[in-house]
Structure formats: structure tokens, C-alpha cells
Structure 1
Amino acid sequence: MSLLGGISSSSGLAEGTQSADSKAKLEEDLNRFLSLLIAQLKNQDPLDPMDSNEFTQQLVQFASVEQQIFQNANLEKLLEIQQTNQISSMVDFIDTMVEVDGKKLPLDNGRAEFTYSMPFGAKSATIVITNSSGVNVHKSDAVLDQGKHTFVWDGKDNYGIQQKDGSYNVLVSGLNQYGELLEIPHTVYGRVTGVGANEGNASLFLGNIEVGQDKVLSVKEVPTKKTN
């Protein structure tokens, strides 16, 4: 899939040419069949003519296949129109902040935001952010109070060094009073930089992170970066 000007589409060139290729192959086979048929008719024994039922059935089969190819071509056009409409309807998402399910965390302009829902009975919990190489770039304690919490990362690692914008991974893990692992669901926020469709499914791009439209939980304005 290519991304151009914030709008992407898996144009389905491979799929779109299937009907054309099938039609060309059918025409080639039909021409070959007709050439053989004409040659046989010219050279047939007048006293023992060919049985017309066989080549009539073959002609019917060719007609049936041609009709199916025509229907497939129309279906491909309808799917392409539907996909284009999907992309057009999502353009308004560009330059908004969306909340999505997932662990991929986009760092954009030195800022990343995510939420986590702390269950009851948490004794300890940790936030860990790693880069694309799996290196731990941030580690801190999570809030243990039950409920949903928002965490904003300034993009600095454990040594105060600013990290590059891009895709990171976030994990919030914790233990209860019995030392048992807790399930701590979390969501991430990201600025939509492009929209597209892949195999008929609508997608949003948060930088280089692609997420399905069905993963969007909420939408809000992009926060303005404070200046000193």
C-alpha cells in the first residue's frame, strides 16, 4: 500500500487486472477454438459430418465464462467505488487525535499519550516504553488507584535524552497483593496523518502506524504544544 498526500489506497491494481487478464485469456482460447472448428468443418467428410452438439456445448461454455468475467469486472468496479467512498468519508480524521486499542505508541513532536485502566487491588504497577529495537527507553510507576488514568510521555528516556519521533511500544503491568499478574488494559492516542483502505478495510495512519477504523474509540482535537 502506498501513501500519498495523506490519502492512501490499495488501488487493487492486481485485483483490478484479474478480469482483464481473464477476458484476454478467454478471447485467446475462443479464437483458437474457432480456428480449429473452421479447419475441421472445411476438412470434414460430407458423408460423415461432425456432430454439432459437442462444439455447440463448448460455445455455450465460452459464453457462460464470458458472462462470469463480466460480472466479476462489475463487482470489482463496485468494490473500488465503495473503497473510494470509505477513504473520502475518513478525510475529516486527518489532523485529529484518535484513541485506539493497541500497544503501538506514536511519539509525535516529542509527545505521546496513552491511558490505562487500573483494576481493583493493585499492589504495584509499572509503565515500560520500548523503542522499535526493544530497548527500554522509559520506565516509571503507574498510579495504583482503581480507574482510568492518562499518561503523557515527553519523549525523554530514563537519562533525560530526547528520543526521535516514531513508533514505540507501551506495556503497563502490575501485581496484586498475592503477587498475581493483573490484566491492565490500555489504549493509545495518536494524530491521524493519513487515511486509506487495505483489502476493502478502512485504515488510519498515526505516523507510520496503521490501525483499522474499527479500532477507533474516541476522537479529539490535537493538543497545542506549550511553549515557555
Structure 2
Amino acid sequence: MDSLTSINELFPSSTPLGNESANSIEDMDAQDFLELMVAELENQDPTKPNDNADMMGQLAQFGTVSGIDELNANFAGLSSALTGGQGLQAAALVGRSVTTESNLGELAEVPNAQGEMEYALDATVEFGSSNAGGSFFVQDMTGRLVYSAALPPSQGGQLPVRWDGRNAQGELAPPGTYRVSAEAIVGGQSTAVSVFAHQRVESVAVDGAQGAVTLNLGNGSSIALEEVKQFL
């Protein structure tokens, strides 16, 4: 009887009918591998047994593939757990306000300090090193100025601003989207500075495949979590 030096000789490259998928060690599970190893040992020539190094090589090959499969499974479980945890953290942002690079704010009803509902648009003015005050402006989406106010001197840095939605005549402006801007006194001159409108997080979406979190904001826009400048 001729000796069988490898599993590939016991099962040649031609695929048996009805077993098209079993083409290589990589396609087998542990039970298939053990059955093939036993068959190989039973059918080897007793006078010319398989080399121990060859047998160990086959075991090592299957062990490597099996280990990679287990590692992939563990990573998949870890990824799923991280995505789930990220989703829970993102869900906690619903109802909170964030700032982004946008200066488009939403005039809408919000609770005041007493818990009563009132119209307001909140923003943060970035004064930088200026501490001499400045001006705050609100325009509608046609570019028409609907409100302006002087900003008090500050210690520099950021200054929160709230517009109650009323124009210079005390009339309530229609709820909706407005553009906010500001100027600061720098070296005795008015200089445009950054203004970041506050946006309410209405809902979140989690992409399980990519692990990305998207925030759906009150003004109808959607941003990635990493685009948020500040959580308020």
C-alpha cells in the first residue's frame, strides 16, 4: 500500500459531487479536520508512516486558521459591544444643545429658568482676546437685519448670547432659521468675530457597520459626532 503523505493526497483537487465547498483546510471546521486526520492515520502504510514534521505542519496550519477565525469572532463581538455602547451614549444627547461651526440658529420655544416655555435663539460669541465688548446681529434668511444689540465688555474668550425673538419694535419674529453674527472691539476698531449658534439634538442615528454616529439637529441638518465643537 502506498503511503499518504498529506490530506491533499487523500482528498485530491477534483471536488466530489455534492461536496463542492470542501476544497481546502481553510474551508473545514474542527470536526471535519479531526475526521480527515483519523482517516489519514488509518490508511497510511505501516512500513512508511507519515513524517511527524508533516503531521505537525498540518496541525499548525489548521490551528492558525482556527485561531484567526476565533480572533475575528472576538473582534466582531467587541465591535458590536462598542457600537452598542456608543449608541447608548449618543442617545443621551437627545434634547441637549450643541455648537458647530455653523452660525445658523433656530428661533424656537425653549424652557426658561422657571420652566416656562418662551421663544429664544441661543449662540456663543468667540471674543478671543478682546475684552472691550462689541455688537450682536441677527438676520433672516433673506439677509435683512431683524435685530442688533450691544455686547458688554467681557474677560475675553466665549460669551453666551440669547435673543428672545423680538425686533427693535418689540414684535415677535416668526419662528425659524436665522443667521447670527458679531463684532468685537479690537484696538479701538470693530472686527468680525466667530459666532456659533446652539442647536438642539432631536435624534441620533448609529451606523452599525461603520460605527459612525450622526446627530439630527432641530434646524433639519445632520452632522457627524466629531463635527460638534461643544456639548452644552
Normalising by structure 1, we get a TM-score of: 0.50
Aligned positions of 1:26-41 closer than 5 A = 29-31=26-28
Query: Are residues 1:205 and 2:217 paired?
Result: yes
Query: Are residues 1:105 and 2:104 paired?
Result: yes
Query: Are residues 1:146 and 2:153 paired?
Result: yes
Give the structure 1 partner of residue 58 of structure 2. 55
RMSD after superposition: 4.8
- Are the structure 2 counterparts of residues 137 and 155 from structure 1 closer, same or farther at C-alpha, using a change threshold of 3 Å? farther
Give the structure 1 partner of residue 12 of structure 2. none
Tell me which of the two structures has the higher relative contact order, counting C-alpha pairs closer than 8 angstroms and 6 or more residues apart: 1
Q: How many residues align?
A: 174
Distance 2:217 2:61 in 1: 50
- Are the structure 2 counterparts of residues 189 and 126 from structure 1 closer, same or farther at C-alpha, using a change threshold of 3 Å? closer
Give the structure 2 partner of residue 172 of structure 1. 182
Q: Which runs of 5+ in 1 are unaligned?
A: 1-26, 157-161, 218-228
Distance 2:102 2:214 in 1: 20
Distance 2:217 2:28 in 1: 48
Give the structure 1 partner of residue 81 of structure 2. 78
Q: Secondary structure at the match of 2:137?
A: strand
Distance 1:207 1:154 in 2: 16
2:138–2:146 CA contact under 8 A, matched in 1: yes
* Letter of the 1:29 counterpart: E
Distance 1:31 1:120 in 2: 72
Give the structure 2 partner of residue 193 of structure 1. 202
Give the structure 2 partner of residue 10 of structure 1. none
2:135–2:184 CA contact under 8 A, matched in 1: yes
1:113–1:189 CA contact under 8 A, matched in 2: yes
Distance 2:123 2:85 in 1: 33
* Letter of the 2:26 counterpart: D
Distance 1:29 1:85 in 2: 38
Displacement of 1:67: 1.5
1:101–1:186 CA contact under 8 A, matched in 2: no
Q: Secondary structure at the match of 1:190?
A: strand
Give the structure 2 partner of residue 127 of structure 1. 137
> Is the helix fraction higher in 1 or 2?
1
The superposition leaves residues 40-68 of structure 1 with CA deviations (integer Å, 9 ceiling, x where unpaired) of x59x9844746223212211111211220
- Are the structure 2 counterparts of residues 164 and 29 from structure 1 closer, same or farther at C-alpha, using a change threshold of 3 Å? farther
1:101–1:216 CA contact under 8 A, matched in 2: no
- Identity among equivalent positions (%) equals 11
1:101–1:187 CA contact under 8 A, matched in 2: yes
- Are the structure 2 counterparts of residues 210 and 216 from structure 1 closer, same or farther at C-alpha, using a change threshold of 3 Å? farther
Distance 2:200 2:190 in 1: 35
1:101–1:188 CA contact under 8 A, matched in 2: yes
Give the structure 2 partner of residue 68 of structure 1. 71
1:30–1:62 CA contact under 8 A, matched in 2: no
* Letter of the 2:74 counterpart: Q
Aligned positions of 1:8-47 closer than 5 A = 29-31=26-28, 46=45, 47=48
